[in-house]
Amino acid sequence: MIEEYLRNQYEDYVDGLDIYENKTSLVLSRIIIKPEFRDKGIGSNIMADLTTYADKNKQIVVLTPSNDFGGNKNRLIQFYKRFNFKHNQGQYKSLEFRDAMIRYPKLNEDNRPIIKTLLREALNVPEVITPPNIPNSRNFWHGGRLDEYSDVIAQKNGRYEFGAGLYLTTQHEVAQKYAKGSRKMYIITVENGVDINKAFLPLNEVVRFINTYVIATKRKELIGILEKYDTDGKIKAYVFNNVILNHKAVKPSNTKVLRQFLVENGIDYEIINNAFGFGEDMMVLYNMNKILNTIVFGPKDRMEDYNFETNN
């Protein structure tokens, strides 16, 4: 994806870069060059890379210049015209986009027939998204940057109050709150698995985990607490997890180890009902292998029903 490439290529020079991409188009939502690097050709290099990518993939590019973030709208219009952007009106008008400027890909000497084909394809892109209907699975929303998430990433302090995993919700409004700025909205389809509330952990494995990864000053206390829940050498997995979280017993750098420990013991996620007061289900996903499908839900996409089914 071009957004990820440009972010990596110019990460030292930009404060913000948001591009929404599908098969036929690129929407440049935001590009902010750091003040100390403005007027040094960074913006031109980024646009050259972006338009080259668009031409190669036969994609329309749209954007709307503004005075936001220290920009000058009139100067930006002239800047984008250097890269073959036109005002989205008259003979260049596309009914698919409301953006102020549009750029058609350079395909051959006579673009008109191919441009018409591209416009027809763009107009046929469905505005109403139909979530997957995969047997033995559930759909959730996620607001964030899922392309940066993996099993080896540790979570930041204060970001795992419900557990060390990927946070998903059935409530569209909840996910939207976490999809601001450069973050995105995703529809995540998760295969049904083992909920932590229905699982048990061997006490000896729990003790071994505590003695290895828990903050040293808290180890003895936590072992004493958990031993009270011992039933035939096992304890309920959610009890272990809650004790670890409530006592802030692991450093943020060890949240990845906590998640791996749960997965290795056959636990895939935890479902929490009404976590934010909307009657929704929140899933804290530990096992990333349970993700069956991911859809990026763009700013122009629509659905008939934005909220997914709950277990209530």
| pLDDT, tens digit (0-9, with 9 covering 90-100), for 58-84 | 899 999 998 887 678 889 999 999 999
User: What value does the mean pLDDT of the chain take?
Assistant: 86
Predicted local distance difference test score (pLDDT) of residue 152: 43
Q: According to the model, what pLDDT value does residue 80 have?
A: 93
- Predicted local distance difference test score (pLDDT) of residue 184: 85
In percent, the amount of the chain with pLDDT more than 90 equals 51
Beta strand 166-169 pairing with 281-285:
antiparallel
- H/E run at residue 200: strand 200-202
pTM above 0.85, yes or no: no
Mean pLDDT in residue range 33-55? 91
**Short-list 86, 96, 85, 103, CA closest to 119:** 96
Residue 124's CB is within 10 A of a number of other CB atoms, namely 9
Distance, in Å, from the CA atom of 84 to the CA atom of 20, rounded to the nearest integer, reads 20
168 neighbors 282 (Cβ within 8 angstroms): yes
Task: Report the pLDDT value the prediction gives residue 300, as an integer from 0 to 100.
Answer: 76
Q: Which CATH class is domain 2-123?
A: alpha beta
What does the pLDDT average to over 266-278?
A: 89
**pLDDT-derived band at 117, boundaries 50, 70, 90:** low
Q: Does residue 128 register a pLDDT over 80?
A: no
User: For domain 137-193+268-297, which architecture applies?
Assistant: Alpha-Beta Barrel (3.20)
Residues 149-164, mean pLDDT to the nearest whole number: 55
Residue 299 pLDDT level (bands cut at 50, 70, 90): confident
d(CA 58, CA 26): 10
> Using CA atoms, how far apart are residues 134 and 132, in angstroms rounded to an integer?
6
- Does position 124 have pLDDT exceeding 60, yes or no? no
User: In angstroms, rounded to a whole number, what is the distance separating the alpha carbons of residues 45 and 37?
Assistant: 12
Helices (H), the chain: 2-9, 42-56, 73-81, 112-123, 172-176, 203-213, 219-227, 237-246, 255-264
Checking if the pLDDT of 121 tops 70, the result is no
SS3 119: helix
Mean pLDDT of 205-226: 95
pLDDT score recorded for residue 94:
83
Domain ranges, ordered by start, for the chain:
2-123, 137-193+268-297, 196-264
3-class state of residue 298 by DSSP: coil
For 204, other C-beta atoms within 10 Å of its C-beta total 10
Q: Identify the weakest region by mean pLDDT among 8-12, 85-89, 120-124, 284-288.
A: 120-124
Beta bridge partners of 139: 189
Residue 224 pLDDT: 95
**37-53 mean pLDDT:** 91
Whole-number Å distance between alpha carbons of 2 and 55: 12
Number of H helices, E strands in the chain: 9, 13
- Using the predicted structure, report yes or no on whether residue 199 has a pLDDT greater than 50: yes
Question: Please, what's the b/e burial string for 132-163 (b: 16 or more CB within 10 A of its CB; e: otherwise)?
Answer: eeeeebbbbbbbbebeeeeeeebbeeeebebb
